[in-house]
Amino acid sequence: MGPDGVATASLADPIGTTAHALGRGEEEPRKLLTALVEPLERLAPDSLALARTLLALGRLQRRRADAVAPFARAAALAERLAPESLLVARALTQSATVESDLPRREAILRRALGIQERLSPRSPETAVVLIRLASTVELAGEPARALELHERALAIVERSAPGTDWHARVLSAVGGYWSTQGDLVQAEREAAWPA
Output the pLDDT for position 191.
66
Output the pLDDT for position 15.
52
CATH of the domain at 140: 1.25.40.10
Length of the chain equals 195
What is the domain extent for residue 8? 1-84
| Pair (190, 136) in one structural domain | yes
Out of 36, 61, 84, a domain closes at 84
* Cα-to-chain-centroid distance, residue 82: 18
Among 22-36, 48-62, 91-105, 119-133, the least confident range? 22-36
How do residues 170-185 score in pLDDT, each as one tens digit? Answer: 888 888 888 888 877 7
| Pair (110, 32) in one structural domain | no
| Pair (111, 33) in one structural domain | no
55 vs 12: CA distance, rounded Å: 9
Neighbouring C-beta atoms of residue 48, cutoff 10 Å: 18
Domain tally for the chain? 2
Burial 157-166 (b: 16+ CB within 10 A, else e): beebbeeeeb
| Pair (57, 123) in one structural domain | no
Q: Is residue 78 part of a domain?
A: yes
With contact defined as beta carbons under 8 Å apart, do 131 and 169 qualify?
yes
Torsion of CA 175, 92, 111, 117, to 10 degrees: -70
With contact defined as beta carbons under 8 Å apart, do 12 and 56 qualify?
yes
